[in-house]
Structures are given as structure tokens and as C-alpha cells.
Structure 1
Amino acid sequence: MSSGEIRGLPGFRDFFPEDFALRRHIFSAWRRVGARYGFTEYDGPPLEPLELYTRKSGDEIVGQLYEFADKGGRAVALRPEMTPTFARMMAARAGGLAKPVRWFSIPQLFRYERPQRGRLREHFQLNMDIVGETDPLADAEIIAAGIDALRELGLGSADIVVRISDRRLVGALLVAHGIGEVDHVAVFGALDRLEKEGEEGARARLAAAGVEATQATGLLEAMRLPLDALKAAHAGDRPVAEAAGRLSIVFGHLRAAGFDEFLRFDAGLVRGLAYYTGTVFEIWDRRDELRAICGGGRYDNLLLALGGVDLPALGFGMGDVVLAELLKDRGLVPSQLRRVDDYIICVSDAEREAALGLARALRDRGRHVLYDLRARGVGRQFKAAHQAGAARAIVLGPDELARGVVSLRDMASGDEREVAIGTLAGEAEEVR
């Protein structure tokens, strides 16, 4: 066997204790918010039939996947997203589930892409979906859940902004401006790059999609309008008015819930994925220094295409990589010190058996307890207690043991007092 260092694969992470603590912190916040909104957690296999993804996204997605033939000759892939698995699982149980269904998951996903800040070849992602409801209140509810999944981590309206639009509104605007005979998917793709490439880049892409210059000018001018002004400017166009009216209801629900300061109408937001059918949204950091933190929308036809179940649905995905970067930038990563409640210090090896019994009693009550695994001087044991971040030091010496007590030291204040060994475990429960 050759010697030398074996490094991890590019784009994949090692979760050292401090990294895992941040991951656990994020996941715990996500789960708390999911529970508050009445969502139930689920999961699926990390390996799926390749067809599940090509049916949704076309054969061009294969180049982005970790795909191979398994030992049974089946074409399979590590999951790059959760929605196809969700659709398959939903189809299997849809008939017996009360509607609307609220499910969430935190899967690990894999894509063979160029690693960069905010994007790796693997990441964890919060997926939240509502199935079986078409009312605009469901759209507002899923957006509110996404906002609260970030607020729970300490991010506020000064840190994040939610850009909201509607694919139906944009489609109606295209027709209203005479762009009805070209490929709308290609036009959506051009508009989706508007924020990143600017108006000049958007015009070039629109021209490539077959949109005339005068039509592009009218469309881009309309898309810069606030929602109410856009609706007023197209008051005589019923499809535009209906789509704008529905989106106004979504905004109204979110404002009633107290989220107004997070919201921004962005007609240019269409999301590049072709399966969205209605409301779409993305959450970005206010400084615009990172990739989108979250993205989602309504996909009323996808469950039928992937699972054979005709149910309206909407949801979002929120990745942990870019979110962790944002939390670090905002100083919102909690202290990663281990939490140790009690460090038991033995003056001599004669107290070891008593220390083990006391540790068992304290741990049975949920206390986090450490002690030295070898005989060392008291000074070195106190140093170890400091390094572990222990809240209390429990000192067992021959004199204390003979009297049935321990010396209890508060590591922050240095205060000491004696406590009967028989009552220490019960007292520990009170101070926890």
C-alpha cells in the first residue's frame, strides 16, 4: 500500500466539530420553523433511477449529475434535487392524504459543478412543499415559511430581501406586447438573466429568441414598473389584470402577516426552471454579494408529469452552503465551544470509583459530565475543566469523601461551597 495523504474530493466537505455545530444549528432552526407551520418531515433515497431526472429536466441534465450504471445494469444517479423524489413519493400516497399536504425535508444533494463560493458539489437543502391547494394564501404561506426559516437564524429585513413575481403575469405581458409567436421558454430565460446581465444583455438574448427591438423596449419598460403601476398601465388587458390581481393578493397576505419590509416585486424574476406555473420567488442577501439563498414557486403540473397525480403544488429549496456564508458574514454563527456542565476532579486515585458513580447519576439526569481518563494532578484537571468550558468543577478528595460531600466550584465566579453527595444529583437538576 502506498503511503501519503489522501485528500477529500473537490467540492465535498469534511464536517469538523465546529462545522458540524453550525450545520446542526441551521438544521435545528429549519426543523423548528417547519413544526410551527405544521409541516411533517420526510426523506427519500440518495440514489434514484436516472430517468426520474431526465424526464423532468431533459437529457442535458446528465452532464451535471453523478450518474452511472449500478451492478444490476440500471441507469442511476445521486439525487441532484428533491422535487422528483417528492413527486414520486407523493404519487404513492396521494389518495390517502388529507389536503393540503405539508411536507418538508433536509436532503443532501449532489451535482457535478464547478465549486465556487456558495456552491459546492454537495449541499444540504431545506425543501418545503404544499400540495393540493390553489388559493393565493398557500403561496403567501410558503413564502412566509421561507422568510421565517431565515429569521429563526437571526437574519432580518436589513439582511435579506424576497423578490416575487408570477410566471402567468410575465406570460400575459409577453402577449400584451405582441410577443406571442415566439418560444416563451426562451424569452423567460432571457428575462431571468436581466438582473445579472443588465438590459443590454437581456436585449441581446431577446433578439436571439426572436423578439423585435420595439417589442423588447415595451416589455422591459413595463417590467420596471411597480406592481400597482403595471396593473394600471394594462388595465384594459384582462389576462394581465387577472395575473397582477392574484399576485397583489399574495402580497396583501404577506403584508397582513407583517412581512412587508422583506418584500420586493420583481417582474423580471421568472426562475429558469421551465416547470413553474405561477408565483415564483427568490430570497437574496440585501448586499447582493452572494448567490440566491432560496428559490421556489408554484408548479401545478409537475406532479402529474413525474408521478401521474394531478395535484397543484408549490414549494422552495434553501441551501445550507450560501446560507452558512451569509451567517458568517453577518456574525451570526454561534459560539462553537462544547457545553460541559460538570467536570469531576479527583484529588487522588482513591476517589475514582465514587467519581464514576457520581458521573453516572448526573448523566442520567441529562447533565454533560467529563472527568480525566488518567490520574493527573489537581491543577492539570482544573486546566482541563477550563479548556472544556465546564460550568462547574466537582472536587472529590479523601476528606470530602469521608464526610459524604463534594466541593462545588463555579468556574465563572470561582465561588465554592460544599454539597452532600447524596443531594448533588438532585440539585444539579434544579440549576440546569
Structure 2
Amino acid sequence: MQFESLPGFREFYPEVCSRRNYIFSHWRKVARAYCFSEYDAPVLEPLELYIEKSGEEIVGQLFNFEDRGGRAVALRPEMTPSLARLIAAKANSLKRPVKWFNIGEHYRYERPQKGRLRAFYQFNVDIFGEPGPAADAELICQLVQSLQSFGLNHTDFKVRLSDRDLWLLMLASEGLDEAASADVLGIVDKLERTDRAKALEKLIPIIGANAEQFLEKVERVIAIHDFDTLRAFIESLPLEGERKTAAEQRLSDWTLLMENIESAGLSDYLKIDLGIVRGLAYYTGFVFEAFEASGQGRALAGGGRYDALVKKLGGPDMPAVGFAMGDVTLVDLLESKDLLPEILDAPDFMLVIGGPEERKAAMLDAAMLRSIGYRVNYPLKDQGFGKQFKAANQSGARFVLIYGADELAKGMVKVRDLTSGGECEFDRSSLQQSLSEVVENGLSSTEG
């Protein structure tokens, strides 16, 4: 009987694993450029952690079960609850702002389809302890530069930016309370993917007879895509007292956020789109999603501010903002743009070995080269020179170290550059230094 992998799960054969590691290396490089520290957390967590954050409805999307200790547990569907728990446990000892990132596998029990699997990797990036919009701008810039690092540009993707606080102020100006506003935001979040008549049908129990006029107003808000129009809209909201002050603060926050992104030279990647509200109720301010510029396909990344979550999970009152980027939709986009290079996991040096005595010398040198970080390979059994050279050419290695009887008698190693065809002999006693120069400069075809 031959077993197959479960639906929605992937095998990573070496060539696919190399591609995955290529993506991870780009994520890590950009995160470290922004001075973020890497962390990790358990892949199995108490089920209650996810219910507390997202509500009972999340259970149907999880791989959850009762363990042998009688505990209700779940494979993590996302990192944010675990991260908030970690931060809450040590909040008083952490130097702020806390800037952490993680690359980890997550699991959701959903129907596998294009762009969505049951097991997937995410790049999670978060800042804690900074309430101002400079933190939001920092993460949006990092998101953009993470995607740029793969060769994507502003014609390939856009970051769509919205503001849940602004929506709540607008809905308050329409006389809606907190519960009704939450219901409306749930409808707005799906408006792009919902038939208008069905959206109107859902609004009628909340808004009443004026649902049609209300929906038209919502559509006008969603149609705002430039900052000047947004500013005029905020200033026109019929608010008084604390709500008017809150609206003025939101305008100030928007202004600073836009200035920071413009100063970083990344404005071309940003698109104001108030149709993005991120359905999860724990978001508390700016929210954003990265999409392919054509608007096709699933979101490449999403995030926003969640200032209340750490306190909700037992920690102190601590502002937070973050985003997550998945590998599945990213790979789909990079493949469509022909931006995934063929990654050859080639050795730095292939060793061609004459006989038993030459093998002893070769293995000693191989151990030395491996200890300083070079990738070295050689045949595990005796083979003729012709077969070894053929394997060396097929391996993708640039250099061959040749251990023949003549070279061994002189205490030398012959080095061949497979790119240029150049050859040179080096004394084995100074091989490390000689090869470091060869790796850096190569061997010209005239050497030998």
C-alpha cells in the first residue's frame, strides 16, 4: 500500500525546499534590515487561546482535539494569539518598542483551493509598545520592501490602506451603536465579493428603511482613493465633542502615516481603499492588505493595529500593530511573473580522486574546507577520472580539486575552474588561503 499526503498538505522535495528556503531568506533579510528579532512559539496551543481572540466560530476552521491530559488543544492557525501571550508574559521587562518577526507553519481546516491550503507558512512581523502611526508606516514600508526583494514593483502589487477607527466615527455619525457598527463592518468587509442586492438585504435589519441611501453613502466612501478627498470627507463628518476631537486626531494620524511612507519613497505602492476593513473584530485602527495590482487572486499579506489584544489575553494595556504574509499566494504570484529563479544547490568544490592514498589526502582537505563553511562533495566509492569529471560538470560546482598520484607526490592539489577552464596547482599546506582567493577571483583560462 502506498500512502499519499493529506489534502491541503505539501511535500517539500529538495528542489521545492530550496525554493521555500529562498523565500524565507528574503523575508529574514528584510526583517533584520529593519532591526526585528526572530522568535518562535509552540505549534500546539490551548484551544481557548483562539476562542478568546476570535470567538467560538473559529473552532470550525481549526485542527483541534482533546489530548491525553484531557486538554482542548489546536494546531495554530495564526501566530498573533501566541505572540500576544508571549508579550503579555514578559511585557514589563521588554524594552519598547518590541520589534519581533517569525516564519512558521500554520494550519487551518478549510477546503483546499488555489491560493489556500490547510498547511502554509507565514511571515509574521509585529511592533508592540508604540501607539503612533510611525509604527504602522514602518510595517507598511517593510511589507513593501519584502515584496520588492523578490523583484516585484508597483506595477505588480499595491497595499490597500483603510481605517477601522474612521469607519466607526462615520457610523457613529449615522447614529449606529457599537454592536450595529460591528455588523455593518462585517458586511462592508465582504462587499467586494457580495452581490449588491444581497448586501442591501443584510443591511435592512440594521439600518431600516434608509438602507438603500446608507449603502450608496458607503459606496461613495469606498470610492475614495486619494488623500485630499479623504481629508475633505473626514472634515465633513457631522461630529461634535469627543467624536469631533477623535476625527481630528485620525486626520492627523493619516497625515503622518502618508508623510512617512512618502518620505521612504514608497507612495506608488499605496492605495487608499476604505473597502478594506479586515473582518476580525480585534483590529482597532489602520488596516491594510497587499494585493496583486490587477486585483486578481487572494491577498498576498494583511495586517493592522490591534491595541486591545494583549490586555484581552491577560497582559497590560499595550498597543500593537502587525502583518502576516503567506507563502502560498506569494509563490503563485512569483511564478506568474517568472520571478522564481531555478535554485541549484551546488557544491563549491567537487573532488576528483585517484586512488586510496589520494582519497586520504582528499578527505582531510574536505574536512578542513567544510569546517570553514565551503560545500564540498566527492564520490563515496572509487570511480574512474572520466566518470568523476562528468559528475562534477553535472553538479553545478564551479571548481574541481584534482587529487592524482603526481599531485600527491608533490604535496599539491590541482584546481580547475569549470567556468573558464583555467587550472592552477596549489600547495596543500596553504590550501585554505589559496582557495579563498580562487573563489573570489576565479581562474582565467590562461592560468595553468
Please give the TM-score of this superposition, normalised by the length of structure 2.
0.91
Measured against aligned partners, the alpha-carbon deviations of 1:64-96 in whole angstroms (never above 9, x if no partner) come to 111111101011111111111111111110011
Q: Is 1:403 matched up with 2:402?
A: no
Q: Is 1:146 matched up with 2:153?
A: no
Matches within 5 A, 1:386-397: 386-397=393-404
1: CA distance between counterparts of 2:221 and 2:101? 36
Matches within 5 A, 1:71-220: 71-177=68-174, 179=176, 183-197=180-194, 199=196, 202-207=199-204, 209-210=206-207, 212-220=211-219
Structure 2 segments unaligned to the other structure (5+ residues): 238-243, 440-448
2: CA distance between counterparts of 1:26 and 1:204? 44
State the secondary structure of the residue aligned to 2:400.
strand
Aligned to 1:248: 255
Identity of aligned residues (%): 44
Identify which of 46, 50, 54 aligns with 1:53. 50
Aligned to 1:229: 229
How far apart are 1:339 and its partner, in Å? 2.4
1: CA distance between counterparts of 2:178 and 2:304? 26
Counterpart of 2:200 in structure 1: which amino acid? R
How far apart are 1:57 and its partner, in Å? 1.2
In structure 2, relative to structure 1, the CA distance for the partners of 1:307 and 1:127 (3 Å cut) is farther
Aligned to 2:315: 308
How far apart are 1:269 and its partner, in Å? 0.9
Q: Do 2:37 and 2:101's aligned partners in 1 also have CA atoms closer than 8 Å?
A: yes
Q: Is 1:31 matched up with 2:38?
A: no
Aligned to 2:241: none
2: CA distance between counterparts of 1:230 and 1:204? 28
How far apart are 1:374 and its partner, in Å? 1.0
Aligned to 1:9: 6
Counterpart of 1:288 in structure 2: which amino acid? G
Q: Do 1:169 and 1:244's aligned partners in 2 also have CA atoms closer than 8 Å?
A: no
State the secondary structure of the residue aligned to 2:352.
strand
Counterpart of 1:344 in structure 2: which amino acid? L
How far apart are 1:177 and its partner, in Å? 4.3
In structure 2, relative to structure 1, the CA distance for the partners of 1:160 and 1:115 (3 Å cut) is same
Q: Do 2:234 and 2:251's aligned partners in 1 also have CA atoms closer than 8 Å?
A: no
2: CA distance between counterparts of 1:99 and 1:31? 21
Identify which of 422, 427, 432 aligns with 2:434. 427
Counterpart of 2:36 in structure 1: which amino acid? F
CA RMSD of aligned residues (A): 1.9
Question: Structure 1 residues 25-34 or 73-82, which shifts more?
Answer: 25-34
Question: Structure 1 residues 209-218 or 373-382, which shifts more?
Answer: 209-218
Question: Structure 1 residues 100-109 or 67-76, which shifts more?
Answer: 100-109
How far apart are 1:203 and its partner, in Å? 3.5
In structure 2, relative to structure 1, the CA distance for the partners of 1:389 and 1:208 (3 Å cut) is farther
2: CA distance between counterparts of 1:417 and 1:234? 73
Question: Structure 1 residues 85-94 or 415-424, which shifts more?
Answer: 415-424
Identify which of 278, 282, 287 aligns with 1:275. 282
Measured against aligned partners, the alpha-carbon deviations of 1:36-79 in whole angstroms (never above 9, x if no partner) come to 21211111111111111111111111111111111010111111
1: CA distance between counterparts of 2:167 and 2:71? 41
Q: What is the aligned length?
A: 429
Aligned to 2:333: 326
Counterpart of 2:235 in structure 1: which amino acid? A
Identify which of 316, 341, 352 aligns with 1:345. 352
State the secondary structure of the residue aligned to 2:253.
helix
How far apart are 1:233 and its partner, in Å? 4.1
Counterpart of 1:43 in structure 2: which amino acid? D
Structure 1 segments unaligned to the other structure (5+ residues): none
Q: Do 1:337 and 1:389's aligned partners in 2 also have CA atoms closer than 8 Å?
A: yes
